[in-house]
Copies of this chain bind each other. A is one copy, B any other.
Amino acid sequence: MLMESRLGIDIPIIQSPMAGTQNWELALAVSEAGGLGSIPCGMLDPEQVKIEIESYMTHSSKPYNLNYFCHKVPAADNIRMAGWEKRLDIYYRELNVKPPSGEGLLRLPFDSRMADLIEPYAPPVLSFHFGLPARDLVRRMKSWGAVILSSATTVEEGDWLEENGADIVIAQGYEAGGHRGMFLTADISTQMGTLALVSQLTNRLKVPVVAAGGISSSKDIKAMLHLGASGIQSGTSYLLCTEAKTGSLHRTALKDQARKTAITNIFSGRPARAIRNRIMEELGDICEIAPEFPYSSIALAPLRQKAESCSSSGFTPLWAGQNRSGCKEISASQLTEELWNGC
């Protein structure tokens, strides 16, 4: 109950922030059911972030979580970008589209300007992916009462997050969908299964540990609480919910249990788990020439757009974890209740 009272929630279920497939509406439905809804802000501009927060606050006074990336943005490597476009040229020709001219929508890290923008709202919970923002920013967020979360994918990352100010550590196991939160290593072989990671982090950390990765049912949640987790985070299970903005091609892929997931760096430059599709099959899940995060996505954007307009998900990141058996086409409020109480 420590974690719930710290977060001001009734049940220890956090909805995973899923940039690109959901907004405040999914967060609202989860929070209204007593869990913690999350609003992914990593791909939004400042104006959009304000709209998200204000829309949520218009409908609810329950706590919510704002999620950001906090990677270091490398300078664009033009030679690498050109090599990537060259590798993709066969697809540009096939789909009859041009390589992109501008940068398009990029994942940007949390910074002091974003802190300026959100401080007036004093968001109660902030979660980060790829480590934590600079110390002064962490201090500043805590000064308005925010609880700070971040994801660990290894024992060492758990230790680092606790030492560097995380109030709650999310143990993101190998099963999890979307981007691996890894930040102290780039070696995918270090990534630990949810069971092994949660068990070890709950043994060593003083802060509460939230289990994430492959959690799709009430029995999964109970098992993680028995393991010592203070709560769980679940994303994949919410992707078919009525409040999610998951695209129809993504929904179709999620329902097809024969399609398997793999960890790929193709879509963004960082490892992330998605249902395998044409581009992953043809380039290999891990493609050494893909530009660094977040630049890989730029050259793919026109391919994705054109393919989707022809009802093909061959270039779409179909984010999903290793257990899709909990996906239901119901309200996220009802799903949250069923996750907690069984159904």
Write the residues of chain A forming the contact surface with B, with a CB cutoff of 8 angstroms: 155, 173-175, 189-190, 192-196, 199-200, 203, 213-217, 219-220, 222-224, 226-228, 257, 260-263, 276, 285, 321-323, 325
A190 contacts across to B, CB distance below 8 A? 260, 262
A260 contacts across to B, CB distance below 8 A? 189-190
A322 contacts across to B, CB distance below 8 A? 192-193, 196
Asked whether, in the complex, the Cβ of A195 is within 8 Å of the Cβ of B192, the reply is no
How far is B94's CA from A70's CA once the two chains are assembled, in angstroms? 46
Contact check: which of B199, B219, B226, B285 meets A216 at CB < 8 Å?
B199
| Contact status of A193 and B173, CB under 8 A, knowing A323-B199, A323-B200 | yes
Shortest beta-carbon distance from A157 to chain B in Å: 13
**Most chain B CB neighbours (cut-off 10 Å) among A203, A219, A322, A323:** A322
Closest to A326 in B: B199
Asked whether, in the complex, the Cβ of A193 is within 8 Å of the Cβ of B219, the reply is no
A214 contacts across to B, CB distance below 8 A? 192-193, 195-196, 199
Contact check: which of B174, B194, B199, B321 meets A219 at CB < 8 Å?
B199
List 5 additional A-B contacts (Cβ < 8 Å) besides A199-B325, A226-B226: A175-B195, A196-B214, A196-B322, A203-B217, A223-B224
Asked whether, in the complex, the Cβ of A219 is within 8 Å of the Cβ of B227, the reply is yes
Shortest beta-carbon distance from A277 to chain B in Å: 13
A223 contacts across to B, CB distance below 8 A? 195, 199, 223-224, 226-227
A227 contacts across to B, CB distance below 8 A? 219-220, 223
